[in-house]
Structure 1
Amino acid sequence: MKIDLSGKTALVSASTAGIGLAIATGLAGSGAETIVNGRTQEAVDRAIATIRETAPDAKVSGVAGDLGSRAGVDAFVKAIQSTDILVNNLGFFGPGDLFSTDDEEWERYFQINVMSGVRLTRHYLRGMMERKWGRVVFLSSESGLNIPPDMLAYSFSKTAQLGIARGIAKFAAGSGVTVNSVLPGPTLSDGVREMLADAAKSEGKTIEQKLNEFVLATRGSSIIQRAASTEEVANMVVYACSKQASATTGAALRVDGGIVDTIA
Protein backbone atom coordinates (compact mmCIF):
# COMPACT_ATOMS: atom_id res chain seq x y z
CA MET A 1 0.00 0.00 0.00
CA LYS A 2 1.38 3.37 -1.03
CA ILE A 3 -0.02 6.38 0.78
CA ASP A 4 -0.13 9.33 -1.59
CA LEU A 5 -1.47 12.62 -0.25
CA SER A 6 -0.40 14.73 -3.21
CA GLY A 7 -2.79 17.59 -3.77
CA LYS A 8 -3.91 17.62 -0.12
CA THR A 9 -3.03 20.16 2.55
CA ALA A 10 -2.29 19.08 6.11
CA LEU A 11 -2.06 21.05 9.34
CA VAL A 12 -0.52 19.61 12.50
CA SER A 13 -0.80 21.64 15.69
CA ALA A 14 2.24 21.69 18.00
CA SER A 15 4.43 20.03 15.39
CA THR A 16 7.89 21.44 16.01
CA ALA A 17 9.07 18.50 18.13
CA GLY A 18 8.21 15.01 19.33
CA ILE A 19 5.14 13.19 18.04
CA GLY A 20 3.88 16.28 16.23
CA LEU A 21 7.09 16.68 14.26
CA ALA A 22 7.09 12.97 13.38
CA ILE A 23 3.50 13.27 12.11
CA ALA A 24 4.29 16.36 10.05
CA THR A 25 7.33 14.60 8.61
CA GLY A 26 5.24 11.56 7.68
CA LEU A 27 2.50 13.62 6.03
CA ALA A 28 5.00 15.74 4.11
CA GLY A 29 6.84 12.62 3.00
CA SER A 30 3.53 11.27 1.68
CA GLY A 31 3.10 14.30 -0.56
CA ALA A 32 0.81 16.52 1.49
CA GLU A 33 1.47 20.24 1.53
CA THR A 34 2.15 20.40 5.26
CA ILE A 35 1.83 23.29 7.68
CA VAL A 36 3.71 23.03 10.95
CA ASN A 37 2.91 25.02 14.05
CA GLY A 38 4.75 26.00 17.19
CA ARG A 39 4.76 28.86 19.64
CA THR A 40 7.83 30.61 18.20
CA GLN A 41 9.04 31.30 14.68
CA GLU A 42 12.46 29.92 15.59
CA ALA A 43 10.94 26.54 16.52
CA VAL A 44 8.83 26.53 13.35
CA ASP A 45 11.83 27.26 11.14
CA ARG A 46 13.86 24.55 12.84
CA ALA A 47 11.08 22.00 12.30
CA ILE A 48 10.78 22.90 8.62
CA ALA A 49 14.52 22.38 8.19
CA THR A 50 14.32 19.01 9.97
CA ILE A 51 11.48 17.81 7.73
CA ARG A 52 13.38 18.84 4.60
CA GLU A 53 16.37 16.81 5.74
CA THR A 54 14.16 13.71 5.56
CA ALA A 55 12.06 14.76 2.57
CA PRO A 56 14.01 17.30 0.49
CA ASP A 57 11.14 17.76 -1.98
CA ALA A 58 8.52 18.27 0.73
CA LYS A 59 6.08 21.13 0.43
CA VAL A 60 6.20 22.44 3.97
CA SER A 61 5.57 25.80 5.58
CA GLY A 62 4.78 26.97 9.08
CA VAL A 63 2.91 29.49 11.17
CA ALA A 64 3.90 30.39 14.71
CA GLY A 65 1.17 30.82 17.29
CA ASP A 66 -0.04 29.59 20.67
CA LEU A 67 -3.15 27.54 19.93
CA GLY A 68 -3.91 26.92 23.59
CA SER A 69 -6.15 30.00 23.79
CA ARG A 70 -9.15 31.34 21.88
CA ALA A 71 -7.21 34.43 20.82
CA GLY A 72 -4.34 32.29 19.53
CA VAL A 73 -6.65 30.10 17.44
CA ASP A 74 -8.54 33.14 16.10
CA ALA A 75 -5.28 34.68 14.89
CA PHE A 76 -4.04 31.40 13.44
CA VAL A 77 -7.13 30.62 11.35
CA LYS A 78 -6.94 34.08 9.77
CA ALA A 79 -3.52 33.10 8.45
CA ILE A 80 -4.48 29.52 7.49
CA GLN A 81 -8.08 29.57 6.37
CA SER A 82 -8.44 26.04 4.98
CA THR A 83 -6.95 22.57 5.19
CA ASP A 84 -7.86 19.08 4.02
CA ILE A 85 -6.23 17.31 6.97
CA LEU A 86 -6.20 18.50 10.56
CA VAL A 87 -4.20 16.74 13.26
CA ASN A 88 -5.00 18.07 16.73
CA ASN A 89 -1.73 17.22 18.44
CA LEU A 90 -1.37 20.13 20.87
CA GLY A 91 -1.30 19.04 24.49
CA PHE A 92 0.75 18.81 27.65
CA PHE A 93 1.05 16.30 30.46
CA GLY A 94 2.23 16.13 34.03
CA PRO A 95 1.61 14.50 37.39
CA GLY A 96 -1.26 15.46 39.64
CA ASP A 97 -3.86 13.64 41.70
CA LEU A 98 -7.22 14.90 42.97
CA PHE A 99 -5.74 16.72 45.98
CA SER A 100 -2.69 18.25 44.28
CA THR A 101 -4.38 19.64 41.14
CA ASP A 102 -6.03 23.02 41.69
CA ASP A 103 -8.83 24.61 39.67
CA GLU A 104 -6.45 26.65 37.53
CA GLU A 105 -4.55 23.56 36.44
CA TRP A 106 -7.78 21.71 35.56
CA GLU A 107 -8.79 24.69 33.44
CA ARG A 108 -5.38 24.78 31.77
CA TYR A 109 -5.68 21.12 30.75
CA PHE A 110 -9.16 21.80 29.40
CA GLN A 111 -8.19 24.86 27.36
CA ILE A 112 -4.97 23.45 25.87
CA ASN A 113 -5.69 19.74 25.45
CA VAL A 114 -9.41 19.88 24.70
CA MET A 115 -10.55 23.28 23.46
CA SER A 116 -7.63 23.81 21.06
CA GLY A 117 -8.84 20.84 19.01
CA VAL A 118 -12.49 21.86 19.33
CA ARG A 119 -11.78 25.37 18.06
CA LEU A 120 -9.57 24.28 15.17
CA THR A 121 -12.00 21.56 14.10
CA ARG A 122 -14.96 23.92 14.30
CA HIS A 123 -13.19 26.25 11.87
CA TYR A 124 -11.81 23.75 9.34
CA LEU A 125 -14.51 21.08 9.32
CA ARG A 126 -17.07 23.13 7.41
CA GLY A 127 -14.80 23.46 4.38
CA MET A 128 -13.93 19.76 4.47
CA MET A 129 -17.61 18.85 4.46
CA GLU A 130 -18.34 21.24 1.60
CA ARG A 131 -15.50 19.70 -0.45
CA LYS A 132 -16.72 16.17 0.44
CA TRP A 133 -13.30 15.06 1.70
CA GLY A 134 -11.32 15.60 4.86
CA ARG A 135 -9.47 13.99 7.73
CA VAL A 136 -9.47 15.05 11.39
CA VAL A 137 -7.36 13.24 13.99
CA PHE A 138 -7.24 13.93 17.73
CA LEU A 139 -4.10 12.78 19.57
CA SER A 140 -5.52 11.21 22.71
CA SER A 141 -3.72 8.69 24.95
CA GLU A 142 -4.09 5.27 26.50
CA SER A 143 -4.41 7.25 29.73
CA GLY A 144 -7.81 8.34 28.46
CA LEU A 145 -8.97 4.74 28.90
CA ASN A 146 -6.55 3.38 31.51
CA ILE A 147 -6.90 6.32 33.94
CA PRO A 148 -3.79 6.81 36.15
CA PRO A 149 -4.96 8.40 39.42
CA ASP A 150 -1.70 10.35 39.65
CA MET A 151 -2.34 12.05 36.26
CA LEU A 152 -6.03 12.70 36.72
CA ALA A 153 -6.55 16.05 34.97
CA TYR A 154 -4.40 14.99 32.02
CA SER A 155 -6.32 11.73 31.70
CA PHE A 156 -9.65 13.55 31.90
CA SER A 157 -8.59 15.73 28.98
CA LYS A 158 -7.68 12.67 26.91
CA THR A 159 -10.98 10.94 27.69
CA ALA A 160 -12.78 14.11 26.65
CA GLN A 161 -11.02 14.03 23.28
CA LEU A 162 -12.34 10.54 22.63
CA GLY A 163 -15.92 11.61 23.20
CA ILE A 164 -15.55 14.76 21.14
CA ALA A 165 -13.96 12.96 18.20
CA ARG A 166 -16.69 10.30 18.17
CA GLY A 167 -19.42 12.93 18.28
CA ILE A 168 -17.87 15.01 15.49
CA ALA A 169 -17.50 11.88 13.35
CA LYS A 170 -21.23 11.26 13.70
CA PHE A 171 -21.96 14.94 12.99
CA ALA A 172 -20.00 14.63 9.72
CA ALA A 173 -21.73 11.37 8.71
CA GLY A 174 -21.91 10.79 4.98
CA SER A 175 -19.80 13.84 4.14
CA GLY A 176 -16.60 12.08 3.10
CA VAL A 177 -14.85 13.44 6.20
CA THR A 178 -13.46 11.00 8.76
CA VAL A 179 -12.74 11.87 12.38
CA ASN A 180 -10.68 9.57 14.57
CA SER A 181 -8.60 9.49 17.73
CA VAL A 182 -5.13 7.98 18.00
CA LEU A 183 -4.08 6.74 21.44
CA PRO A 184 -0.33 6.45 22.03
CA GLY A 185 1.06 4.73 25.08
CA PRO A 186 4.37 5.79 26.66
CA THR A 187 6.37 7.29 23.80
CA LEU A 188 9.97 8.46 23.59
CA SER A 189 9.10 12.07 22.79
CA ASP A 190 11.16 15.19 23.47
CA GLY A 191 9.03 15.98 26.52
CA VAL A 192 9.63 12.55 27.99
CA ARG A 193 13.35 12.83 27.28
CA GLU A 194 13.50 16.08 29.24
CA MET A 195 11.48 14.62 32.11
CA LEU A 196 13.75 11.58 32.48
CA ALA A 197 17.13 13.12 31.61
CA ASP A 198 18.28 13.90 35.16
CA ALA A 199 17.17 10.57 36.62
CA ALA A 200 18.80 8.63 33.81
CA LYS A 201 22.07 10.53 34.20
CA SER A 202 22.17 10.06 37.96
CA GLU A 203 21.62 6.32 37.58
CA GLY A 204 24.09 5.91 34.72
CA LYS A 205 21.40 4.75 32.30
CA THR A 206 20.18 5.87 28.91
CA ILE A 207 16.86 7.67 28.66
CA GLU A 208 15.54 4.72 26.65
CA GLN A 209 16.46 2.33 29.46
CA LYS A 210 14.82 4.58 32.04
CA LEU A 211 11.61 4.90 30.05
CA ASN A 212 11.40 1.17 29.40
CA GLU A 213 11.82 0.58 33.14
CA PHE A 214 8.91 2.98 33.70
CA VAL A 215 6.77 1.05 31.22
CA LEU A 216 7.48 -2.26 32.94
CA ALA A 217 6.94 -0.81 36.43
CA THR A 218 3.75 1.17 35.79
CA ARG A 219 2.25 -0.36 32.65
CA GLY A 220 2.73 -4.05 33.35
CA SER A 221 0.08 -5.01 30.79
CA SER A 222 2.27 -3.72 27.95
CA ILE A 223 2.66 -6.45 25.39
CA ILE A 224 5.60 -4.94 23.53
CA GLN A 225 7.33 -4.35 26.92
CA ARG A 226 8.85 -1.05 25.84
CA ALA A 227 8.01 2.50 24.90
CA ALA A 228 6.98 3.38 21.36
CA SER A 229 8.94 5.68 19.08
CA THR A 230 7.43 8.88 17.76
CA GLU A 231 7.62 7.41 14.26
CA GLU A 232 5.53 4.41 15.30
CA VAL A 233 2.79 6.73 16.51
CA ALA A 234 3.09 8.90 13.40
CA ASN A 235 2.62 5.87 11.14
CA MET A 236 -0.86 5.29 12.56
CA VAL A 237 -1.78 8.96 12.19
CA VAL A 238 -0.59 9.11 8.58
CA TYR A 239 -2.68 6.04 7.78
CA ALA A 240 -5.75 7.58 9.44
CA CYS A 241 -5.22 10.65 7.24
CA SER A 242 -4.84 8.64 4.05
CA LYS A 243 -7.30 8.03 1.23
CA GLN A 244 -7.08 4.32 2.07
CA ALA A 245 -8.60 4.94 5.53
CA SER A 246 -11.92 6.11 4.08
CA ALA A 247 -13.98 3.52 6.03
CA THR A 248 -12.31 4.22 9.38
CA THR A 249 -14.13 6.93 11.34
CA GLY A 250 -15.32 7.49 14.87
CA ALA A 251 -12.60 5.09 15.98
CA ALA A 252 -10.10 5.05 18.83
CA LEU A 253 -6.94 3.73 17.19
CA ARG A 254 -4.51 2.49 19.83
CA VAL A 255 -0.72 2.63 19.48
CA ASP A 256 -0.27 1.69 23.11
CA GLY A 257 1.71 -1.51 22.75
CA GLY A 258 -1.21 -3.48 24.15
CA ILE A 259 -1.38 -1.68 27.51
CA VAL A 260 -5.16 -1.31 27.50
CA ASP A 261 -6.19 -4.86 28.38
CA THR A 262 -9.11 -5.35 26.00
CA ILE A 263 -9.66 -7.01 22.65
CA ALA A 264 -12.23 -4.40 21.59
Structure 2
Amino acid sequence: MQIDLTGKTALVTGSTTGIGYAIAAGLAQAGAAVIITGRDESRVVASGQKLRELAPAGASISGVAADLGTAEGCQTLIAAVPKVDILVNNVGIFGLKPFFEIEDAEWQRFFDVNVMSGVRLSRHYMQAMLQQGWGRVIFLSSESGVNIPDDMLHYGFTKTAVLGVSRGLAKLARGSGVTVNAVLPGPTLSEGVTTMLQDEVSRSGRSVEDVAKDFVKSQRPSSIIQRAATTEEVANMVVYACSQQASATTGAALRVDGGVVESII
Protein backbone atom coordinates (compact mmCIF):
# COMPACT_ATOMS: atom_id res chain seq x y z
CA MET A 1 0.00 0.00 0.00
CA GLN A 2 1.39 3.37 -1.03
CA ILE A 3 -0.14 6.23 0.93
CA ASP A 4 0.10 9.50 -0.99
CA LEU A 5 -1.27 12.65 0.63
CA THR A 6 0.22 15.06 -1.88
CA GLY A 7 -1.99 18.13 -2.19
CA LYS A 8 -3.56 17.67 1.26
CA THR A 9 -2.99 20.02 4.18
CA ALA A 10 -2.81 18.43 7.63
CA LEU A 11 -3.00 20.09 11.04
CA VAL A 12 -1.68 18.09 14.00
CA THR A 13 -2.26 19.61 17.42
CA GLY A 14 0.21 19.15 20.26
CA SER A 15 2.86 18.06 17.81
CA THR A 16 6.20 19.44 18.99
CA THR A 17 7.03 16.14 20.73
CA GLY A 18 5.82 12.62 21.31
CA ILE A 19 3.00 10.95 19.43
CA GLY A 20 1.95 14.24 17.81
CA TYR A 21 5.41 14.83 16.39
CA ALA A 22 5.57 11.26 15.05
CA ILE A 23 2.17 11.75 13.39
CA ALA A 24 3.32 15.02 11.82
CA ALA A 25 6.45 13.29 10.52
CA GLY A 26 4.43 10.41 9.07
CA LEU A 27 2.01 12.73 7.30
CA ALA A 28 4.86 14.83 5.90
CA GLN A 29 6.60 11.70 4.61
CA ALA A 30 3.34 10.78 2.87
CA GLY A 31 3.41 14.12 1.03
CA ALA A 32 1.01 16.26 3.06
CA ALA A 33 1.69 19.89 3.88
CA VAL A 34 1.85 19.81 7.68
CA ILE A 35 1.12 22.43 10.35
CA ILE A 36 2.39 21.63 13.84
CA THR A 37 1.28 23.34 17.04
CA GLY A 38 2.44 23.84 20.59
CA ARG A 39 2.14 26.39 23.36
CA ASP A 40 5.76 27.52 23.23
CA GLU A 41 6.93 29.43 20.15
CA SER A 42 10.56 28.35 20.50
CA ARG A 43 9.60 24.67 20.66
CA VAL A 44 7.34 25.05 17.64
CA VAL A 45 10.20 26.59 15.66
CA ALA A 46 12.73 23.96 16.80
CA SER A 47 10.38 21.04 16.09
CA GLY A 48 9.49 22.48 12.69
CA GLN A 49 13.14 22.68 11.75
CA LYS A 50 13.78 19.12 12.92
CA LEU A 51 10.76 17.92 10.94
CA ARG A 52 12.02 19.60 7.75
CA GLU A 53 15.24 17.62 8.05
CA LEU A 54 13.29 14.34 8.18
CA ALA A 55 10.64 15.17 5.59
CA PRO A 56 11.08 14.80 1.82
CA ALA A 57 12.84 17.65 0.03
CA GLY A 58 10.51 20.56 -0.57
CA ALA A 59 7.98 19.47 2.04
CA SER A 60 5.75 22.23 3.39
CA ILE A 61 6.15 22.41 7.16
CA SER A 62 4.83 25.32 9.23
CA GLY A 63 3.82 25.91 12.83
CA VAL A 64 1.56 27.95 15.08
CA ALA A 65 2.06 28.63 18.78
CA ALA A 66 -1.23 28.64 20.71
CA ASP A 67 -2.71 27.31 23.94
CA LEU A 68 -5.45 25.07 22.60
CA GLY A 69 -6.82 24.45 26.07
CA THR A 70 -8.55 27.81 25.73
CA ALA A 71 -11.15 29.18 23.32
CA GLU A 72 -8.81 32.10 22.61
CA GLY A 73 -5.96 29.79 21.69
CA CYS A 74 -8.15 27.84 19.31
CA GLN A 75 -9.22 31.09 17.64
CA THR A 76 -5.56 32.10 17.28
CA LEU A 77 -4.90 28.85 15.42
CA ILE A 78 -8.01 29.17 13.25
CA ALA A 79 -7.08 32.73 12.30
CA ALA A 80 -3.60 31.59 11.27
CA VAL A 81 -4.81 28.44 9.47
CA PRO A 82 -8.40 28.91 8.23
CA LYS A 83 -8.77 25.62 6.32
CA VAL A 84 -7.27 22.13 6.33
CA ASP A 85 -8.06 18.78 4.72
CA ILE A 86 -6.89 16.68 7.66
CA LEU A 87 -7.31 17.50 11.35
CA VAL A 88 -5.57 15.38 13.97
CA ASN A 89 -6.80 16.30 17.45
CA ASN A 90 -3.80 14.99 19.34
CA VAL A 91 -3.11 17.62 22.02
CA GLY A 92 -3.62 16.24 25.50
CA ILE A 93 -2.38 16.11 29.07
CA PHE A 94 -2.18 13.26 31.57
CA GLY A 95 -0.88 12.62 35.04
CA LEU A 96 -1.21 10.21 37.93
CA LYS A 97 -3.27 11.59 40.83
CA PRO A 98 -5.51 10.04 43.51
CA PHE A 99 -9.18 10.77 42.88
CA PHE A 100 -9.73 12.44 46.25
CA GLU A 101 -6.96 14.95 45.53
CA ILE A 102 -8.24 16.08 42.12
CA GLU A 103 -9.86 19.49 42.55
CA ASP A 104 -12.54 21.01 40.34
CA ALA A 105 -10.07 23.24 38.51
CA GLU A 106 -7.98 20.26 37.46
CA TRP A 107 -11.01 18.35 36.19
CA GLN A 108 -11.89 21.42 34.12
CA ARG A 109 -8.33 21.84 32.81
CA PHE A 110 -8.18 18.21 31.63
CA PHE A 111 -11.57 18.57 29.96
CA ASP A 112 -10.64 21.83 28.23
CA VAL A 113 -7.36 20.51 26.83
CA ASN A 114 -8.29 16.90 26.05
CA VAL A 115 -11.87 17.35 24.86
CA MET A 116 -12.83 20.95 24.11
CA SER A 117 -9.75 21.61 21.94
CA GLY A 118 -10.96 18.92 19.55
CA VAL A 119 -14.58 20.06 19.77
CA ARG A 120 -13.70 23.66 18.93
CA LEU A 121 -11.35 22.85 16.08
CA SER A 122 -13.63 20.21 14.57
CA ARG A 123 -16.56 22.63 14.72
CA HIS A 124 -14.60 25.03 12.53
CA TYR A 125 -12.60 22.83 10.16
CA MET A 126 -15.21 20.16 9.45
CA GLN A 127 -17.58 22.64 7.82
CA ALA A 128 -15.23 23.25 4.87
CA MET A 129 -14.44 19.53 4.65
CA LEU A 130 -18.15 18.78 4.28
CA GLN A 131 -18.52 21.46 1.62
CA GLN A 132 -15.64 20.08 -0.44
CA GLY A 133 -16.74 16.46 0.00
CA TRP A 134 -13.49 15.15 1.48
CA GLY A 135 -11.77 15.34 4.82
CA ARG A 136 -10.24 13.38 7.65
CA VAL A 137 -10.67 14.07 11.37
CA ILE A 138 -8.80 11.97 13.92
CA PHE A 139 -9.17 12.15 17.69
CA LEU A 140 -6.44 10.66 19.88
CA SER A 141 -8.24 8.74 22.61
CA SER A 142 -6.57 6.02 24.69
CA GLU A 143 -7.07 2.51 25.98
CA SER A 144 -7.63 4.41 29.26
CA GLY A 145 -10.89 5.64 27.76
CA VAL A 146 -12.12 2.03 27.79
CA ASN A 147 -10.19 0.71 30.80
CA ILE A 148 -10.62 3.70 33.14
CA PRO A 149 -7.51 3.84 35.37
CA ASP A 150 -8.29 4.53 39.02
CA ASP A 151 -4.98 6.37 39.47
CA MET A 152 -5.83 9.01 36.84
CA LEU A 153 -9.57 8.90 36.60
CA HIS A 154 -9.82 12.46 35.26
CA TYR A 155 -7.65 11.49 32.29
CA GLY A 156 -9.59 8.31 31.49
CA PHE A 157 -12.88 10.23 31.67
CA THR A 158 -11.73 12.71 29.03
CA LYS A 159 -10.61 9.93 26.71
CA THR A 160 -14.03 8.29 27.00
CA ALA A 161 -15.61 11.63 26.11
CA VAL A 162 -13.39 11.85 23.03
CA LEU A 163 -14.76 8.49 21.83
CA GLY A 164 -18.29 9.83 22.11
CA VAL A 165 -17.51 13.03 20.22
CA SER A 166 -15.69 11.13 17.48
CA ARG A 167 -18.50 8.65 16.92
CA GLY A 168 -21.14 11.39 16.89
CA LEU A 169 -19.23 13.51 14.38
CA ALA A 170 -18.76 10.50 12.10
CA LYS A 171 -22.53 10.05 12.02
CA LEU A 172 -23.02 13.77 11.39
CA ALA A 173 -20.74 13.46 8.33
CA ARG A 174 -22.56 10.42 6.91
CA GLY A 175 -22.36 10.10 3.13
CA SER A 176 -20.16 13.16 2.75
CA GLY A 177 -16.70 11.75 1.98
CA VAL A 178 -15.50 13.05 5.37
CA THR A 179 -14.44 10.39 7.87
CA VAL A 180 -14.01 10.76 11.62
CA ASN A 181 -12.20 8.20 13.73
CA ALA A 182 -10.58 7.80 17.13
CA VAL A 183 -7.20 6.15 17.64
CA LEU A 184 -6.56 4.44 20.98
CA PRO A 185 -2.91 4.05 21.90
CA GLY A 186 -1.86 1.91 24.82
CA PRO A 187 1.29 2.61 26.87
CA THR A 188 3.61 4.41 24.46
CA LEU A 189 7.20 5.55 24.84
CA SER A 190 6.49 9.23 24.36
CA GLU A 191 8.51 11.95 26.06
CA GLY A 192 5.80 12.24 28.71
CA VAL A 193 5.92 8.56 29.62
CA THR A 194 9.70 8.59 29.57
CA THR A 195 9.67 11.49 32.06
CA MET A 196 7.21 9.60 34.27
CA LEU A 197 9.56 6.60 34.36
CA GLN A 198 12.78 8.58 34.73
CA ASP A 199 13.15 8.14 38.49
CA GLU A 200 13.14 4.35 38.12
CA VAL A 201 15.51 4.55 35.15
CA SER A 202 17.96 6.62 37.22
CA ARG A 203 17.61 4.42 40.29
CA SER A 204 18.00 1.10 38.49
CA GLY A 205 20.43 2.09 35.75
CA ARG A 206 18.30 0.17 33.27
CA SER A 207 17.13 1.43 29.89
CA VAL A 208 13.81 3.24 29.64
CA GLU A 209 12.60 0.49 27.29
CA ASP A 210 13.21 -2.17 29.94
CA VAL A 211 11.59 -0.09 32.68
CA ALA A 212 8.61 0.58 30.43
CA LYS A 213 8.31 -3.14 29.72
CA ASP A 214 8.11 -3.86 33.45
CA PHE A 215 5.55 -1.07 33.85
CA VAL A 216 3.37 -2.60 31.15
CA LYS A 217 3.61 -6.08 32.67
CA SER A 218 2.67 -4.83 36.15
CA GLN A 219 0.19 -2.06 35.34
CA ARG A 220 -1.29 -3.34 32.06
CA PRO A 221 -0.91 -7.13 32.46
CA SER A 222 -3.48 -7.83 29.73
CA SER A 223 -1.06 -6.42 27.14
CA ILE A 224 -0.40 -8.96 24.43
CA ILE A 225 2.79 -7.40 23.11
CA GLN A 226 4.09 -7.08 26.71
CA ARG A 227 5.93 -3.81 26.01
CA ALA A 228 5.29 -0.15 25.34
CA ALA A 229 4.60 0.88 21.76
CA THR A 230 6.78 3.38 19.95
CA THR A 231 5.36 6.71 18.87
CA GLU A 232 5.94 5.68 15.25
CA GLU A 233 3.75 2.60 15.70
CA VAL A 234 0.88 4.81 16.83
CA ALA A 235 1.55 7.31 14.05
CA ASN A 236 1.32 4.55 11.42
CA MET A 237 -2.32 3.93 12.36
CA VAL A 238 -3.13 7.64 12.24
CA VAL A 239 -1.50 8.10 8.83
CA TYR A 240 -3.52 5.18 7.48
CA ALA A 241 -6.76 6.63 8.88
CA CYS A 242 -5.93 9.93 7.15
CA SER A 243 -5.33 8.27 3.80
CA GLN A 244 -7.42 7.90 0.68
CA GLN A 245 -7.33 4.13 1.26
CA ALA A 246 -9.21 4.47 4.57
CA SER A 247 -12.36 5.82 2.91
CA ALA A 248 -14.58 3.05 4.36
CA THR A 249 -13.20 3.42 7.89
CA THR A 250 -15.25 5.91 9.92
CA GLY A 251 -16.88 6.08 13.32
CA ALA A 252 -14.29 3.60 14.50
CA ALA A 253 -12.17 3.23 17.61
CA LEU A 254 -8.87 2.09 16.10
CA ARG A 255 -6.77 0.38 18.73
CA VAL A 256 -2.98 0.58 18.86
CA ASP A 257 -2.99 -0.64 22.44
CA GLY A 258 -0.90 -3.79 22.08
CA GLY A 259 -3.94 -5.86 22.98
CA VAL A 260 -4.43 -4.27 26.42
CA VAL A 261 -8.19 -3.93 26.03
CA GLU A 262 -9.84 -7.28 26.74
CA SER A 263 -12.18 -7.29 23.75
CA ILE A 264 -12.26 -9.11 20.43
CA ILE A 265 -13.88 -6.10 18.69
- TM interval, short-chain normalised: over 0.9
> Deviation per CA, 1:62-119, whole angstroms, max 9, x where unpaired?
1111111001101110111000000000000011233121111111111000000000
Whether 2:144 is the aligned partner of 1:167: answer no
Whether 2:4 is the aligned partner of 1:24: answer no
The residue number in structure 2 matching 1:114 is 115
CA RMSD of aligned residues (A): 0.8
For the residues of structure 1 that align with 2:172 and 2:217, how far apart are their CA atoms?
A: 39
The residue number in structure 2 matching 1:63 is 64
SS in 2 for 1:99: helix
> What letter is aligned with 2:14?
A
> What letter is aligned with 2:103?
D
The residue number in structure 2 matching 1:45 is 45
The residue number in structure 1 matching 2:96 is 95
For the residues of structure 2 that align with 1:21 and 1:50, how far apart are their CA atoms?
A: 10
The residue number in structure 1 matching 2:2 is 2
The residue number in structure 1 matching 2:185 is 184
Paired residues, what number?
264
Task: Write out the 4+ residue segments of structure 1 that deviate beyond 4 Å after TM superposition.
Answer: none
TM-score by length of 1: 0.98
User: What does residue range 214-233 of structure 1 map to in structure 2 within 5 Å?
Assistant: 214-233=215-234
User: What does residue range 73-88 of structure 1 map to in structure 2 within 5 Å?
Assistant: 73-88=74-89
> Deviation per CA, 1:196-254, whole angstroms, max 9, x where unpaired?
11221111111111111100001111000000000000000000000000000000000
State the Cα distance separating 1:154 from its structure 2 match: 0.1
For the residues of structure 2 that align with 1:219 and 1:112, how far apart are their CA atoms?
A: 25
For the residues of structure 1 that align with 2:180 and 2:216, how far apart are their CA atoms?
A: 29
> What letter is aligned with 1:252?
A
For the residues of structure 1 that align with 2:61 and 2:145, how far apart are their CA atoms?
A: 32
State the Cα distance separating 1:124 from its structure 2 match: 0.2
For the residues of structure 2 that align with 1:179 and 1:81, how far apart are their CA atoms?
A: 19
The residue number in structure 2 matching 1:35 is 35
For the residues of structure 2 that align with 1:125 and 1:55, how far apart are their CA atoms?
A: 27
SS in 1 for 2:16: coil
For the residues of structure 1 that align with 2:56 and 2:88, how far apart are their CA atoms?
A: 22
Contact 2:8 2:86 (8 Å CA) reproduced: yes
> What letter is aligned with 1:204?
G
For the residues of structure 2 that align with 1:262 and 1:56, how far apart are their CA atoms?
A: 39
> What letter is aligned with 1:136?
V
> Deviation per CA, 1:169-201, whole angstroms, max 9, x where unpaired?
001111110000000000000111111112211
For the residues of structure 2 that align with 1:48 and 1:80, how far apart are their CA atoms?
A: 16
Percent identity, please: 61
State the Cα distance separating 1:16 from its structure 2 match: 0.4
For the residues of structure 1 that align with 2:63 and 2:54, how far apart are their CA atoms?
A: 17
> What letter is aligned with 2:17?
A
State the Cα distance separating 1:56 from its structure 2 match: 3.9
State the Cα distance separating 1:45 from its structure 2 match: 1.3
State the Cα distance separating 1:53 from its structure 2 match: 2.0
Contact 2:19 2:235 (8 Å CA) reproduced: yes
SS in 1 for 2:159: helix
